[in-house]
Amino acid sequence: MKTADLIGGSSGIALGAYVLYEGSKMPADLIMKIGPSYFPDVLAIGLIFFSLILIIYALLGRAKGQAEAIRFKDKGIQRALISLLAIVAYAVLLDQLGYPIVTVLLVAGIMILLGKRSPLQIAGVSLATTFVVWLLFAKLLMLSMPMGILEDLV
Amino acid sequence: MDFDFALLYHSFGNVMLDWHVLLAIFIGVTGGITIGALPGLTATMGVALLVPFTFGRPPVESLGMLLGIYCGGMYGGSISAILIRTPGTPAAAATVLEGYPMGQRGEAGRALAMALFASFSGGMFGALVMTFLSPYVAGVALEFSYVEYFALALFGLSVIISISGTSIIKGVMAGLFGLVLSTIGMDPISGYPRFTFGVIDLMEGPSFIPTLIGLFAVAELFSNIEKMGVTEKIKARIGQYFPSLADIKTSAPNILKSSAIGTIVGAIPGAGGDIAAFVSYAEAKRSSRHPEKFGTGLIEGVAATESANNACSGGAMIPLLSLGVPGDAVTAVLLGAFIVQGLQPGPLLYKEHMDIVYNVFAAMIVANVAMLVVGAFGVRFFARVIGIQKEILIPIIFVLSLCGSYAMRQNVFDVYLTIGFGVIGYLMQRYDYPLSPILLALILGPMAEANLRRSMVVSGGDWHILVSRPIAVSLMVLGVAFMVASVFNHKRIEKRLAEARLADTTP
């Protein structure tokens, strides 16, 4: 957990410093004495303070608990990363390709990633999920889902 | 504020005679039990995932469904706790201690029947206390000025931070991180845009529902994918739907006591069902005539933990409805659902939408009855649900999460936000930073800031206004006391929880 806490503490300090820097550019309020930057500044100082404590504890060898390092060779981490890329691609392509295509691809892709191999099951689950979720959002809740390149077909 | 019996009676009519509302509650309860029973999916996640399905529906219908999920989810966790020794929700962790040994002895049906009965009794107790107590709390809160609201937000934040997570420092850091996030967007007083990077979509801050879907659903999916286990097959035979009279008699004192403990713990901001269940379990063991038998599969133990975590839901609704301060992570999500409906929980809700408040009371009570019915007749189905393969479940939840965050504003930016918070939530959880302080800070942060600044406007910048009102001062002192006490007690509580968890993992 030591390295993890050092990284966590440093991230906290970096975020706090950024907030203070941005806050310094905000206008001051002369009447109330506390302007838009007041609250963020107080929080940033608090965050930096507690991040420092976390770092000091870690350096003194008092970090609590066990932490697993993220190893890119680990199969689980690889799966999680691929699924992250898949959902980012989903977001990027949602408007262009349209909901039906990207959703079928996402469900099928994740199923294959997680070890499903039966084509029938993959096709069935991905088509059914896409259809049922579309039915719920578009028909029951009257929310329009992007149809992308299928726009003209509908 | 006096209690209005006629309005409550009328609200029962609204809930029970309108089949849309009744159906919504039953769907919610069924969905909640299913989600609760599935390990890795919590009640918070269930409500977060299903909030988007309430957009555009009338308030009573959508709130009824969400309350159904909340009640059902709390009970559902016990099913997998008893059958496969994996609590379906954190709140059911204590149920494993007695429930699983019972299941091993071939008494899974008896344990499940008691879990359901205790959940119903506890839930009903909590719901009734909520119904009769919150109007009075709201009555007091109507007198609150900006100063008291600031103090209340501060109190809520200090409690949340002090009791969540294994490390106080990390709890505080998570809370401060959430508070910093809550300052993104236009400043509540001057309208100055802060930390928006020029992105118009961030002008109102990170949208609440996508943020919480990211933190509580997508983050959970990543860790599920990373640690894919083997789905367990259920072998237990379940031949009992209701507990026997003898079992009810043995457990009644514990159910009553644990329901009271659960309601009180639930009403404290930040303390949720898991804490309520462990506290009640400890109390049941302490007051038992045969404490040495605890851990071997005692029906009283199941009764205590399950009535406590369900009573917690009613308790947590009290500060939500009457003060606008959520009592736990699920009620924080519910607060988001209220806001989506254009309703701001808090004392003013009683003034402006009294009918809705009473409908919520009625819906909560009906949801508990629905839970009893659905739970009894569906227990075999839910036991089978646990066996659903994760390879199928995970992609479906991904689609629900991503589409749910897209649906509200029909904006892809919100999908990116969800993914971003999913990654942040996954990393934070992996390294022991609790997530619920972030969620509550997102709600209490703006409340604290806006009311502090307004107080300053009223006083012309004089800080003395903060110590000018007795309730505000008491709340602030209490908040500090909670923080100090938690620092001193943390080691002791941690040791106890570690012991309980050790007992839970050693066969």
Do A29 and A54 reside in the same domain of the chain? yes
Residue in chain A nearest B225 by alpha carbon = A80
How far apart, in whole angstroms, are the C-alpha atoms of residue B160 and residue B331?
A: 13
Most B-contacting residue of A19, A83, A132 (CB-CB within 10 A), to test interface: A83
Most B-contacting residue of A50, A57, A121, A131 (CB-CB within 10 A), to test interface: A50
What integer is the mean pLDDT of A50-59?
93
CB pairs under 8 A between A and B: 188
How much is the pLDDT for B163? 64
What are the residues facing B194 on neighbouring strands? B185
- CB spacing of A44 vs B180 below 8 angstroms: yes
Return the structure tokens found at B336: 């988001």
Do A89 and A140 reside in the same domain of the chain? yes
What are the helix (H) ranges across B142-294?
A: 146-163, 168-182, 208-213, 219-226, 245-267, 273-287
Alpha-carbon gap: A10 to the closest alpha carbon of chain B (Å): 12
What integer is the mean pLDDT of A71-83?
88
Asked if residue A64 belongs to a domain, the reply is no
What string of H, E and C letters represents the secondary structure of chain A? CHHHHHHHHHHHHHHHHHHHHHHHCCCCCCCCCCCCCHHHHHHHHHHHHHHHHHHHHHHCCCCCCCCCCCCCCCHHHHHHHHHHHHHHHHHHHHHHHCHHHHHHHHHHHHHHHCCCCCHHHHHHHHHHHHHHHHHHHHHHCCCCCCCHHHHHHC
Distances (CA, A) of B310 to A151, B137, B329, B432, B440: 47, 21, 14, 26, 21
Alpha-carbon gap: B451 to the closest alpha carbon of chain A (Å): 12
Q: Measuring CA to CA, which residue among A84, A106, A4 is closest to residue B170? A: A4
How much is the pLDDT for A14? 95
Residues B71 and B121 sit within 8 Å (Cβ to Cβ): no
Residue in chain B nearest A90 by alpha carbon = B402
- CB spacing of A145 vs B403 below 8 angstroms: yes
Do A48 and A83 reside in the same domain of the chain? no
- CB spacing of A83 vs B180 below 8 angstroms: no
Residue in chain A nearest B422 by alpha carbon = A84
Q: Among partner residues A22, A54, A133, which is closest to B403 by beta-carbon distance? A: A133
Residues B416 and B218 sit within 8 Å (Cβ to Cβ): no
The torsion angles phi and psi of B285, rounded to 5 degrees, stand at -70, -45
Continuous segment of H or E residues that includes residue B185 = strand B185-186
How far apart, in whole angstroms, are the C-alpha atoms of residue B166 and residue B274?
A: 14
Do A51 and A99 reside in the same domain of the chain? no
Residue in chain A nearest B414 by alpha carbon = A91
Residues A99 and A147 sit within 8 Å (Cβ to Cβ): yes
Residues in chain A: 154
Longest dimension (CA), chain B: 70
Q: Measuring CA to CA, which residue among B126, B367, B107, B125 is closest to residue B247? A: B107
Range of the domain at A31: 2-59
Residue in chain B nearest A125 by alpha carbon = B392
In chain A, what residues touch B433 (CB-CB under 8 Å)? 8
How many domains does chain A divide into?
2
- Is B193 in a helix, a strand, or coil? strand
Alpha-carbon gap: B23 to the closest alpha carbon of chain A (Å): 14
- CB spacing of A50 vs B169 below 8 angstroms: yes
What are the residues facing B193 on neighbouring strands? B186
Alpha-carbon gap: B176 to the closest alpha carbon of chain A (Å): 6
How far apart, in whole angstroms, are the C-alpha atoms of residue B82 and residue B386?
A: 12
Q: Among partner residues A4, A80, A107, which is closest to B399 by beta-carbon distance? A: A107
Do A42 and A80 reside in the same domain of the chain? no
- CB spacing of B173 vs A54 below 8 angstroms: yes
Do A86 and A50 reside in the same domain of the chain? no
ipTM over 0.90? The verdict is yes
Continuous segment of H or E residues that includes residue B495 = helix B470-505
How far apart, in whole angstroms, are the C-alpha atoms of residue B273 and residue B313?
A: 8
What percent of chain A stands above pLDDT 70? 95
Neighbours of B502 (CB within 10 A): 9
DSSP state of B186: E
Asked if residue A66 belongs to a domain, the reply is no
- CB spacing of B176 vs A29 below 8 angstroms: no
How far apart, in whole angstroms, are the C-alpha atoms of residue A39 and residue B453?
A: 9
- CB spacing of A94 vs B406 below 8 angstroms: yes
- Is B194 in a helix, a strand, or coil? strand
- CB spacing of A47 vs B180 below 8 angstroms: yes
Do A104 and A52 reside in the same domain of the chain? no
In chain B, what residues touch A116 (CB-CB under 8 Å)? 391-392
Q: Among partner residues B190, B222, B419, which is closest to A88 by beta-carbon distance? A: B419
In chain A, what residues touch B57 (CB-CB under 8 Å)? 141
How far apart, in whole angstroms, are the C-alpha atoms of residue A62 and residue A71?
A: 24
Longest dimension (CA), chain A: 70
How many domains does chain B divide into?
1
The rounded average pLDDT for each run of 10 residues, N- to C-terminus, in chain B (507 residues) is 81 86 93 85 82 82 91 90 81 86 86 92 93 87 87 83 73 92 87 85 86 88 82 68 86 92 86 84 86 85 92 91 84 86 86 88 94 90 81 90 86 93 93 86 87 85 83 87 74 62 49
- CB spacing of B394 vs A47 below 8 angstroms: no
Residues B258 and B124 sit within 8 Å (Cβ to Cβ): no
How far apart, in whole angstroms, are the C-alpha atoms of residue B218 and residue A126?
A: 19
Residue bearing tokens 């060779």: A73
How much is the pLDDT for A12? 95
How much is the pLDDT for A63? 75
Range of the domain at B42: 5-142+150-227+236-505
Continuous segment of H or E residues that includes residue B451 = helix B436-459
How open is the CA angle A49-A53-A57, to the nearest 5 degrees?
170
Asked if residue A65 belongs to a domain, the reply is no
Residues B120 and B243 sit within 8 Å (Cβ to Cβ): no
Continuous segment of H or E residues that includes residue B425 = helix B412-430
How far apart, in whole angstroms, are the C-alpha atoms of residue A119 and residue A127?
A: 12
Asked if residue A136 belongs to a domain, the reply is yes
How much is the pLDDT for B231? 63
- Is B198 in a helix, a strand, or coil? coil
The torsion angles phi and psi of B198, rounded to 5 degrees, stand at 75, 10
Residues B367 and B359 sit within 8 Å (Cβ to Cβ): no
- CB spacing of B222 vs A15 below 8 angstroms: no
Q: Among partner residues A64, A79, A129, which is closest to B396 by beta-carbon distance? A: A129
Distance of CA B130 to the CA centre of its chain: 15
How far apart, in whole angstroms, are the C-alpha atoms of residue B57 and residue B239?
A: 39
- Is B42 in a helix, a strand, or coil? coil
Radius of gyration of chain B (CA): 22
Residue in chain A nearest B218 by alpha carbon = A84
Contacts of A13 (CB under 8 A, 6+ apart): A47, A48, A51, A52, A55
